Amino acid sequence: MSCGAKAGQVIGVPCVQFWTSSPVSFWGYLQYKELIERGIVPFKDEQYLSDGTLEMSIDIPDKSTNIYTIGPLASLSRRINKPEIQHDWLNSSLWKEDTRCIEWLNTKEPNSVVYVNYGSITVMSNHHLKEFAWGLANSRYPFLWIVRPDVVMGESAVLPKEFMEETKGRGFITSWCPQQQVLSHPAVGLFLTHCGWNSVMEAVSEGVPLICWPFFADQQTNCRYSCTTWVIAMEINPDVKREEVETLVREMMEGNNGQRKRQQAMEWKKKAKAAISSGGSSLTNFDRLIKETLHHG
């Protein structure tokens, strides 16, 4: 809420702006003015800290003097051990969660379930919804699919009756779920996602590889880095086809390429855990944020 920064300046109190997207997308947004004035300019290469967290090589004249990288937030919040703080308050979910899916996951084998969630606001056509449906059905893997009532543009999301009959007992479909709890469940082996930063970070924190179907904002950037830099994902064509859904799910669940990405995802899980552990970069930066803000001026 950028208006808050101006209000802080007016009344003379320190202000911290919370950026909810990835560092690399933040850097990209900062270049918009220059892109408009000069045309496309090459992005600088990112650098990694010793614990694997991303350090931005950015020049921000007259914008900010301090940047604190504090993610993954869901993991960091679990480090807070104060009885007066309810962890439900820290939940970033915008929808009411259906926890019955956890009981269903408890009945499945380890790494056997495909988790599908396009986030809180992404929408698609009814045609694409059906292509995803039949791709999942044809893959033959059990799946947990989050289908929001408003996920289809301009109409209610209705899955074909034939699809429901075909996948009876193999799929669990609901309107929302406790995502961090789902991704941490041993039964979940793959996440088909829109690549919102919360979803990417939660998957990284649990070592779950991705199939990416980015929609807007920073999601394309998150997808690119997930696939080519962090090497934990594969991207699906924007004009999704059921054959491609089936092929990618099978490759990521049982193929050699999928196994390599699964191993890489586990390496990033270790780095995420280190970042929020005692002495880790995120925990250190969070403490520094509080101290420097409260002692501002």
pLDDT tens-digit profile of 137-193? Answer: 999 999 999 999 888 887 777 898 999 999 999 999 999 999 999 999 999 999 999
The proportion of the chain whose per-residue pLDDT surpasses 70, expressed as a percent, equals 85
Q: How does pLDDT run across 147-156, given as a tens digit for each residue? A: 998 888 877 7
60, pLDDT greater than 60: no
Taking the CA atoms of residue 200, residue 201, residue 202 and residue 206 in that order, the dihedral angle to the nearest 10 degrees is 100
Say whether the peptide bond before residue 72 is cis (omega within 30 degrees of 0).
yes
Angle of helix 281-294 relative to helix 256-275, nearest 10 degrees?
A: 40
CA distance 262 to 5: 41
Asked if 209 and 190 touch (Cβ cutoff 8 Å), the reply is yes
Which residues are CB-contacts of 102 (< 8 A; sequence separation ≥ 6)?
Answer: 178, 181, 182, 185
- Residue of 107, 170, 118 whose CA lies nearest to 144: 170
199, pLDDT greater than 80: yes
Token digits of residue 233? 């994902």
Q: How many CB atoms sit inside 10 A of residue 250's CB?
A: 15
**One-character DSSP codes across 122-164:** --B-HHHHHHHHHHHHHHT--EEEE--TT-BTTS-----HHHH
CA distance 68 to 75: 16
Q: Which domains does the chain have, with CATH numbers?
A: 3-71+278-294 (no CATH), 100-274 (3.40.50.2000)
